[in-house]
A and B are shown apart, each in its own frame.
Chain A
Amino acid sequence: MLDIFWMDGPTLVGMSTHRRLLSLAFCITIALAASACSGDDGDSITLYSGRGAGLIQPIIDRFEDESGINVNVKYGNTADLALLISEESAAGRIEADVYLSQSPGAMGFLDDDLAQLPPATLDLVAPTTRDDDGRWVGISGRQRVLVYNSDAVDPADLPDSVFDLVDERWRGQVGVAGGNGSFQDFVTAMRFTEGEDVTAKWLNDLESIDPVAYPNNNSIVAAVGRGEVEVGLVNHYYNYRALAEDPGVASVNHLFVAGDPGGTLIVTAAAIIDGTDKADFANEFITFLLSPEGQQYFAEETFEYPLVPGTPTAGNVPEIEFDDVGSLDLDELEGGLARTRELIADAGLES
């Protein structure tokens, strides 16, 4: 039956199916072209989002309803979209008005391609969770935690500090995503709070206990949940998502003690692209994400930490004091990313 794949030799066939296929393809081309040409009537902005539709589209829908501004979204990987924006800016073609990134690292990569945000927008959040040059603002926060498998690990064994994690007890049992943006931001934060040498030593020590590499936080949480590794270094909210999908899962978050670099707060960030003629609408969108409604959405629907002071977290997410979450300066975090990657690669943890 499948002989027609790669079939050799002459076969007699009528033309009718062939022609029908061609005309079908033609109709589809027209339909696709028509659908691609629609839009951009009236007030609209274009958003490049490094955060997935599942997390962010509901709050975008609400913004569209309330503001009457249409938001066209291009979803993609945070780093890929940053590359695309930098190529667009280099060519003098501004396609995106707003960029949402999963971590401040990608914002540092774009830097000159980002516009100055209005002070009123920046002032909505604490100074520690925005860019000192005013080019990006934090939208929501994720705390670094140690996720563990409650069937395999006695909670009493869990380390208070990330420095105690590099111990024989955890040999071959730590899930790490060395190529992931949040892990890199956490290492950068450690460099600034603990210094270069301590960080390099910790990375080397971690490597020496044979950690297991994963592509991202999410796959670590899944691996810990099924007992593939006992613990993993991740952002806190992935486990809440895992619980929402499957309440029976064995993965549990463990917080390091207050002030430990292992518990760094990683923010997601928003910026306006330099050169856009829709800066006002773009700012309106970012302000909406930082409004009580927007912040409450991130707290309750995505289990993240709201960054505007006074917004409560979701019921099962523990409250944290921002000052307790490593005193990192996000600005230095940007510039240091290349050096961070080098340290991670030198320790052999990059993949």
Chain B
Amino acid sequence: MSDLGAVRAATAAGADSNASRPVSKRSAVPGPSAFVGLAIGAVFAVPAVYVAAQVVTLNTPFAKTLEEIQGPLWRTLQLAALVSATAALIGTLLAWVTVRTDLPFRKAWRVALVLPLVLPSFVGAGAFIAGVTPGGIIHETLLALGFTPPRRFRGLGASWLVLSAFTYPYVMLPVSARLTSLRTSVEESARMLGCSARQAFVRVVLPEIRPAILAGALLVFLYTLSEFGAVQLLGYDTLTRVIFATRQADRAVSFAAAAALLVLATLVVIAERRFRGRAVPDQRPAGAQRPAELGWRKLPATLACAAVLTAGLIIPVTSLLLWAVRGIRDGAIAFGDLVEPTVNTAGVALVTAVITVIVILPIATETTRRPGPIPAVAAAAVLGGFAIPGLVIALALAVIALNASGVGWLYQSLVLLILGYVVHFGSQALASAEQAVRAVPVRVREQARLLEPVAIRRATQIDVPLMRPGLVAGGGLVMLATLKELPVTLLLAPIGFSTLATEIWGGFTEGFYAETGVASLLLIAVSASLTWLLVLRPTIRS
């Protein structure tokens, strides 16, 4: 016990300079654990297999389908590329400014700048549109200032802006984490050897944070592929519109469009794995970091942070507040009705987060310690679950629960609902689970094996504590995604089971904006406090 403690302490002190020696020779031969990962991956592949099976059985006419989805496919690609590139840029810059500089109030910025992640996209977009079009606070302010803003806010540009403003935290979070754990001394050495600040960033820092940028940008890309609610409101016609518009009348086309999304997702996942490379990260502890001095750039940097936060949070929240206040003033809101949905929302999100992390860990272990084709396939299956719309995942799971023998009891049960969430959001835990696995260096594992023969005790004494920050982070992202999930919840939840997202949707589609406003603000409050209580505070204290 005390020996193990010493191993851990030694790791923490950075004595283990050989921390991330490349994987051992065993990696060539897939062990039995590879197949555990593959089996888990198979569960994630269920919706994809269902889509493929439907495309085959419905005998989709290839030429006709291609003609129908051509335009939307091209538009989807454009949007996904623009949004992920923009999110990568904004996310990286914000991470650098809030972690590595002497920006005033940078800790407060780091918390606030994550919040755009918590609104369901349809209500976020709806509230955003209400804010920037005539009658909205932004529109009126610009008018008062003498500008004439456009009456309409729609199309590619609008979708690009809104989705980028809502998704950059997917990049900012991993890059912030990487920058925090990356020592500044190498950068400083580079400066002393004559590099300019920009050269030092490009040559020294960028290679280290590149995997984090790519992992985040990939999530943004997949998110944009499967996005429906926001782009529909913003009048931008993508593949998901085809999937939805034809889901009753022309199912063959609907499934073909979903299959196209999956192919696209697979290509992007492969590309990302290629680009990420096999570079061994610098895992030495960060030590004291010396923030870069912004000097006169403090003002523009602060303004940039404020601008991003305005787009991602302040504009939509202002509209939501306006709707909510109007309803509260009229006495139209029954707060008591929101208690049960709030409890349900928090409950399923927590359970989903814990289960997702447990399920993803074996795959992350394989991809990190014994990379090869089998773990790669399992990881691709997990990532694919984020690229198809929740509606398709929900239908696939419903059809299987209804028809496969022995699993009928799953239908309309919480188990199936949570399974749906896990399949849809497993990808969000994957990258941070991989980081978590890397946090247990090879030498530490070898030393532990010598000192503690019982595997289970090694796991609880060494692995879990060292992995914990990464696992909690992954679980946190899954929790945030589940809190706001809508289509899977609507179709798979047990009868009478409502969440805040279903309440928000119910109000929004029928024009009960007051209810929408109150429920949305409640969702933001619940998301923020759960993130603080369960993810941020325990780590800070320890």
Contact = CB atoms under 8 A, between A and B. Distances in A.
B362 interface: no
Interface in A27-63: 28-29, 31-33, 35-36, 39, 46, 51-55
Given A91-B403, A226-B136, A350-B245, A17 B506 contact: no
Given A11-B469, A351-B245, A17 B538 contact: yes
Contact of A12 (B126, B347, B536, B542): B542
B496 A2 contact: no
Contacts of B431: 6
A79 B490 CA distance: 12
Contact of B348 (A10, A12, A32): A32
Interface string B455-486: 00000100011101110111011000000000
Contact of A18 (B440, B464, B536): B464
Given A21-B534, A32-B347, A179-B245, A80 B173 contact: no
Contacts of B506: 52-54, 75
Given A12-B12, A83-B248, A179-B241, A7 B470 contact: yes
Interface stretch (A118-126, A158-166, A211-219, A319-327): A211-219
Contacts of A6: 173-174, 176-178, 212, 431-432, 435, 470, 473-474
A46 B495 contact: yes
A214 to B, nearest CB: 7
A245 B178 contact: no
A181 to B, nearest CB: 10
Interface in A205-243: 212-216, 218-219, 221-223, 225-229, 238, 241-242
Choose among B249, B281, B465, B536 the residue with the greatest number of A CB atoms under 10 Å from its CB. B249
B439 A8 contact: yes
B507 A8 contact: no
A14 interface: yes
A215 B232 contact: yes
A129 to B, nearest CB: 22
B96 interface: no
A76 to B, nearest CB: 5
A227 B477 contact: no
Contacts of A257: none
B11 A10 contact: yes
Contact of A28 (B351, B460, B535): B351
Given A4-B472, A12-B465, A245-B326, A72 B495 contact: yes
Interface string B232-260: 11010100010011011110000000000
A74 B495 contact: yes
B510 A241 contact: yes
A218 B123 CA distance: 13
Contacts of B466: 10-11
Choose among B12, B135, B173 the residue with the greatest number of A CB atoms under 10 Å from its CB. B135
A55 B245 CA distance: 25
B135 A226 contact: yes
Interface stretch (B193-201, B308-316, B512-520): B512-520
B138 interface: no
A73 B249 contact: no
A21 B476 CA distance: 12
Nearest to A227: B134
Contact of A36 (B180, B435, B497, B498): B497
Interface string A89-121: 011010100000000001001000000000000
Given A28-B347, A226-B135, A22 B354 contact: yes
Given A84-B398, A337-B249, A3 B180 contact: yes
Nearest to B245: A179
Given A6-B177, A6-B431, A12-B8, A24 B245 contact: no
A238 B134 CA distance: 19
Interface residues of A, number: 80
Contacts of B438: 8
Contacts of B154: 212
Contacts of B538: 13, 17
B511 A93 contact: no
A9 B183 CA distance: 11
Nearest to A340: B249
B414 interface: yes
Contacts of A228: 133-134, 151-152
A156 interface: no
Interface in B378-436: 391, 395, 398-399, 402-403, 408, 411-414, 431-432, 435
Interface residues of B, number: 110
Given A2-B173, A33-B414, A228-B152, A25 B181 contact: no
Interface in B209-251: 212, 232-233, 235, 237, 241, 244-245, 247-250
Nearest to A181: B248
A337 B249 CA distance: 8
Interface string A150-181: 00000000000000000000000000000100
Contact of B235 (A9, A35, A212, A341): A212
B291 to A, nearest CB: 14
A41 to B, nearest CB: 14
Nearest to B415: A33
A5 B181 contact: no
Nearest to B322: A246
Given A179-B241, A228-B151, A1 B540 contact: yes
Contact of A218 (B181, B182, B351, B509): B509
A108 B136 CA distance: 40
Nearest to B215: A6
A198 interface: no
Contact of B460 (A15, A54, A72, A179): A15
B510 A218 contact: yes
Contacts of B472: 4
A39 B12 CA distance: 53
A101 B414 CA distance: 26
B299 interface: no
Given A8-B439, A226-B134, A341 B249 contact: yes
Interface stretch (B76-84, B107-115, B184-192, B264-272): B107-115
A214 B235 contact: yes
A32 B414 contact: yes
A245 B513 contact: yes
B198 to A, nearest CB: 24
B243 to A, nearest CB: 12
A5 B350 contact: no
B347 A221 contact: no
B130 interface: yes
Contacts of B496: 39, 72-74
A51 B509 CA distance: 9
Interface in B96-155: 99, 107, 110-111, 114, 126, 130, 133-136, 151-152, 154
24 contacts: A1-B107, A2-B536, A3-B539, A5-B177, A5-B535, A6-B174, A6-B435, A7-B177, A8-B438, A9-B181, A11-B542, A13-B539, A32-B414, A74-B496, A80-B491, A82-B248, A93-B411, A95-B495, A214-B235, A219-B126, A227-B135, A228-B134, A241-B511, A338-B249
Interface of A: 1-15, 17-18, 21-22, 24-25, 28-29, 31-33, 35-36, 39, 46, 51-55, 72-77, 79-80, 82-84, 87-88, 90-91, 93, 95, 106, 109, 179, 212-216, 218-219, 221-223, 225-229, 238, 241-242, 245-246, 337-338, 341, 350-351
Given A11-B439, A215-B233, 10 more contacts: A2-B173, A3-B181, A6-B173, A6-B174, A6-B176, A8-B281, A11-B12, A13-B468, A32-B351, A88-B402
